[in-house]
Structure 1
Amino acid sequence: MAAEVENLAAGRIRMGRPGAVGAGRDRFGLSGTSQSYDPRVVAIRPDLADIAVAGQHFAPHYAAPMMSSCVLPSAVLRGAPSLDADQTSELLYGEGFALLDLTGGWAWGYCLADHYVGYLAADALGAPIAPTHRVRASEALLHSAPDAASGGSAVLPRGALMMGEPQGEWLATAHGYLPLAALAETDVVEADAATVAEELVDAPYLWGGRTAAGIDCSGLVQLAWGAAGIQLPRDSDLQFAALGADKDVDPAQLERGDLVFFPGHVGIMADATNVIHASRRWMAVKVEPLADVIARSVAKGQEPPVSGYKRLK
């Protein structure tokens, strides 16, 4: 792993040397004032920015991202290069990461699936893969041999991406074997999002989490809809905006699979009256009456919850 990190560090393109991405240019100009941006999804620091925003946002230097992928079962994405920094999201095994800077054991860049920006421990990253399968069980054990009795080297979470060749009932990878029964091919759409969310009921609540070991409300929705073939942004407000959420949906018309938004919160309807959500009140993924969640929102003095409903079909 140390060699892989050294190779990534040596190969990164930064400090005004954009290479192919910049079509040979090493200087950029703005045609007007620098545009406003959301730092969660636009990679800009005081000293460095993604080459993709050159000409739109000012930075002293620009970097062309180097593609990599997560080599740990999951890796915490943080808002700053420190173990004390808040967790903002999580990168799962095999998921892609656009690396912009590697300094002091921390990698800075953005997750390829949702463009979420942050810092990862450098040893979480390795060479990019071309995934063939993803984990569709809540968790899957990576075995040392194609035998259920063999030991396992890692437990991979739902949504983890793998590259390998099927051998009988197993997927053979460079790091071990996974049972095909726990996997789906990457281009196969799984069950509806509500079914995926139900599989994670009772998983503990974790701000920034995306696995059965800990997950937050928008992470649950993102993971469930990703399995159903729809890639959503990371945070609930970004999901709301990306979907063009309908602010005038009657709660009485909601059905299984509809998304329901509250200020700073989102859930998936299990049926016409119950919602599946990762709840900070219960500190776990729960199914409970939507009316109860609405009542708590009203009690907090928040805007009428009905303004946040979105029917997703």
Structure 2
Amino acid sequence: MTDRRLTPNSGRIAHVSLKGQVNVPLTTGEPARVAAPVTDLCPEPGALRDRQVIFGAEVTVIDRQDGWSFLRAEADGYCGWVVDGALTAPAPATHLVHVPATHVYREASIKRGEVMRLSLGSRLPVLEEDAKFARIAEGYVPIQHLRPITRNDTDPVAVAERLLGTPYLWGGNSRDGIDCSGLVQMALTLCGRSCPGDSDLQRAAFGDFLPAEEPPRRGDLFFWKGHVAMACDADTLIHANGHTMNVAYESITACLARIAAAGEGPFYGVKRPA
């Protein structure tokens, strides 16, 4: 069965990659990028979100309808509808926000007011920079909050730890709110590793489960039905979870026991992303 989340077909128009598989008109799509700090990616116009996309994300617009755009997010292939006002013309990203969050200021001064807040992972087309600020089309960002897009982080756990305390949000993908799979995707993506958006897709993407007797290592992924967490070491994990309603550390032993006692779904095992 075709996975709707990864199928670039609005039901009216489909991407040319589906040639021979669908009976609707085909298009190569229109490149765009996300200009809102964060916006919901929905299965239908006006529906509840599946996931979110954040500032600077590169997308391909496949269909438009009543103020909504059907698109494919190029980072992970996730498809859905976003409001048209969240999109703008494409521009190559040069820098990435590498702190939990930052502000875009009206002028090159922290005292002149901000125009928006951007999350960790936001991708910025910087037009010019000096010792204090990087200028983008929307304003000025503190230069110390950015890193070049070409330089990756090296430790996914350290990336996840930047979001400690972030509120839990189903389908969330930003500092404003994030869920378990969004946290894992952020951690791996900023380290240059491809990662799907949902926990079931992540479970399918990362090879075989480790033998039950093998102790977990930093960066290993724990999978339950509908949930994923990342090991910090052999005893502790980090996850965005509905128990504490934020990104938090938890004892591996306590977490396994708590979820089993709640009957929230089976524990599948541990995987080690290559």
Shared fold per TM-score greater than 0.5 = yes
Query: What is the rounded CA distance, in whole Å, between the counterparts of 1:60 and 1:176 in structure 2?
Result: 41
Tell me the SS of whatever aligns to 2:63.
strand
Deviates more, 1:267-276 or 1:123-132: 267-276
Tell me the SS of whatever aligns to 2:50.
strand
User: Counterpart of 1:15?
Assistant: none
Tell me the SS of whatever aligns to 2:77.
coil
Query: What is the rounded CA distance, in whole Å, between the counterparts of 2:154 and 2:104 in structure 1?
Result: 23
User: Counterpart of 1:26?
Assistant: none
Aligned: 1:75 with 2:75: no
Task: Note closer, same or farther for the CA distance 1:102–1:47 as it changes in structure 2 (3 Å cut).
Answer: closer
User: Counterpart of 1:207?
Assistant: 170
Aligned: 1:38 with 2:17: no
Q: How far did 1:251 drift?
A: 6.2
Residue among 105, 115, 121 paired with 2:83: 121
User: Counterpart of 2:257?
Assistant: 295
Q: Deviations over 1:130-185 (max 9, x none)?
A: 00001011111111222233321111111111111222222122221111110111
Q: Is the 8 A contact 2:56 2:123 kept in 1?
A: yes
Tell me the SS of whatever aligns to 1:195.
helix
Q: How far did 1:63 drift?
A: 2.2
- TM-score normalised to structure 1 length: 0.83
Q: Is the 8 A contact 2:210 2:272 kept in 1?
A: no
User: Counterpart of 1:309?
Assistant: 270
Query: What is the rounded CA distance, in whole Å, between the counterparts of 1:181 and 1:46 in structure 2?
Result: 44
Residue among 242, 254, 272 paired with 2:205: 242
- TM-score normalised to structure 2 length: 0.94
Question: How many residues align structurally?
Answer: 272
Task: Note closer, same or farther for the CA distance 1:196–1:251 as it changes in structure 2 (3 Å cut).
Answer: farther
Task: Note closer, same or farther for the CA distance 1:63–1:157 as it changes in structure 2 (3 Å cut).
Answer: same
The letter of the residue matching 1:293 is C
Matches within 5 A, 1:97-176: 97-164=59-126, 165-176=128-139
User: Counterpart of 1:262?
Assistant: 224
Q: Is the 8 A contact 2:10 2:62 kept in 1?
A: no
Q: How far did 1:72 drift?
A: 0.9
The letter of the residue matching 2:236 is N
Task: Note closer, same or farther for the CA distance 1:301–1:278 as it changes in structure 2 (3 Å cut).
Answer: closer
Aligned: 1:195 with 2:181: no
Q: How far did 1:249 drift?
A: 3.1
Please tell me whether Structure 1 or Structure 2 has the larger radius of gyration of its CA atoms.
1
The letter of the residue matching 1:58 is V
Task: Note closer, same or farther for the CA distance 1:217–1:161 as it changes in structure 2 (3 Å cut).
Answer: same
Structure 1 unaligned spans of 5+:
1-35
Query: What is the rounded CA distance, in whole Å, between the counterparts of 2:210 and 2:153 in structure 1?
Result: 30
Q: Is the 8 A contact 2:49 2:171 kept in 1?
A: yes
* Structure 1 moving runs of 4+ over 4 Å: none
The letter of the residue matching 1:61 is P
Query: What is the rounded CA distance, in whole Å, between the counterparts of 2:10 and 2:107 in structure 1?
Result: 45
Structure 2 unaligned spans of 5+:
none
Q: Which has the higher helix share?
A: 1
Q: Is the 8 A contact 2:10 2:63 kept in 1?
A: no
Q: How far did 1:259 drift?
A: 1.5
Q: Is the 8 A contact 2:10 2:70 kept in 1?
A: no
Tell me the SS of whatever aligns to 1:250.
coil
Task: Note closer, same or farther for the CA distance 1:172–1:310 as it changes in structure 2 (3 Å cut).
Answer: same
